[in-house]
Amino acid sequence: MRKYERIVQQEWNRTDKTQKHKHKPPKRHEHFSTSRNNNNIEASNIMVTTSRVGDDGDNALDIHSVPVQRNLVVDAGHLASKRHIIHGFIEVDVTKAQLMRREHSFSFTAFVIASLAHAVALHPQVQGMLTPRGNRVVVFRNVDVATMIEPHSGGDAFPHIIRNAQARSVQDIGQELHDVKHQNPVQSPQQQQPNHRSVEFYARLPRCIRLGIFRWMMRKPQRRQKLMGTVSLSSVGMFGGTGGGYAIGYLPCHTMGIFVGGMAQKPRVVVDPTTGATKMEMRHYVCLSLQFDHDVVDGAPAARFTKTLTDLMESASVLLLDEEAPKSYASAAW
């Protein structure tokens, strides 16, 4: 912020050379505005803003403080850029699930999480993690889905991990998401450990130290599974909008991640299973972006996993047959 204050002071001096009295620069985290005709300072604790009206009235600028927590996002993007990630973009017909939502209310995000967890349970290699030497892969039996939750009362979004998601129903997962978001956000283990002060202290460290700590956290697969889960899901398209579209993100620490984009209605030719007749119907499609770490997962296993995920979501089997959810991993040994 001191750099911004010096810029504002230089601009002040340049535009008011004839004025004998010079105002002192404002303190940090203050809001102020200057004008050629009327110089005034208005205090505020929200942001730093500078505006100057020139002869043409077009010269104006705003300066905002950047939260220190953004350093964590920058570090995650830096680490993700060093990985070999393969991407896949698919459209999934979720008309059956949407029709069932009219009769039985449930969270669509919980439905996607449950479908993802069941698909990973059948193809556990997509959540495998390399050992520090890179000569072995650790495959976890339980599917822990990490997702971001924005508190209903406002504030910054925080990560939450749905533990053992492959053995839980859609209603159970949706209830946990609702409780964490609306009733008691601090009950999330990710909110309690580490706490806000330790995260802020970590974010203020030099970048080289932050990256070293992050690499140490990712070095041991068991530690990564405890702190970050085994797979990630981001529901970017659930915040509004009526059109489709893909959400493209990055994958800093997980072997597999999925980004839920927008949902839209599209025409589709449907075949009647009894008569074989075809007809045109409007169907609900959701756009999904899948990412895999190519150092762990090859293209063929990723394609088989994608096919299983598509079938589970289109058939809405996690809503119909929760009691028959896959709990055995012998069929997908690796």
Over residues 299-326, mean pLDDT: 84
pLDDT greater than 90 at residue 180: no
- Tokens standing for 68? 């220190």
Peptide bond into 194 cis (omega under 30): yes
- For 234, other C-beta atoms within 10 Å of its C-beta total 18
Is pLDDT at 53 greater than 50 in this prediction? no
Give residue 41's pLDDT. 35
**Model pLDDT for residues 257-276, shown as the tens digit of each residue:** 999 998 989 998 888 888 88
Q: What is the pLDDT of residue 9?
A: 62
The residue among 30, 35, 29 whose CA lies nearest residue 11 is 35
Query: Which range has the worst mean pLDDT, 117-121, 243-247, 319-323?
Result: 319-323
> What confidence score (pLDDT) does residue 159 get?
84
Assess if CATH 3.30.559.10 describes domain 70-332: yes
If you average pLDDT over residues 279-293, what whole number do you get?
Answer: 93
pTM metric for this prediction: 0.73
Compute the C-alpha angle 115/123/224, nearest 5°.
85
Statement: residue 195 has pLDDT above 60: no
Distance CA 228, CA 198 (A): 17
CA distances from 259 to 2, 45, 90 (A): 39, 36, 11
Numbered ranges of CATH 3.30.559.10 in the chain: 70-332
pLDDT at residue 16, rounded to an integer: 56
Q: pLDDT grade, residue 20 (50/70/90)?
A: very low
Give the per-residue pLDDT at 61.
Answer: 79
User: What pLDDT digit, counting tens, does each position of 94-114 carry?
Assistant: 999 999 988 888 889 999 999
Residue 42 has pLDDT above 50, yes or no: no
Q: 32 or 287: which carries more pLDDT confidence?
A: 287
Instruction: Say what the pLDDT of residue 58 is.
Output: 63
pLDDT at 314: 94
What confidence tier does 49 reach under pLDDT thresholds 50, 70, 90? very low
Mean pLDDT of the chain: 78
Amino acid at 127: Q
Q: Are 45 and 66 in contact (CB under 8 A)?
A: no
CB 267 within 8 A of CB 283: yes
Identify whether the C-beta of residue 113 lies closer than 8 Å to the C-beta of residue 147: yes
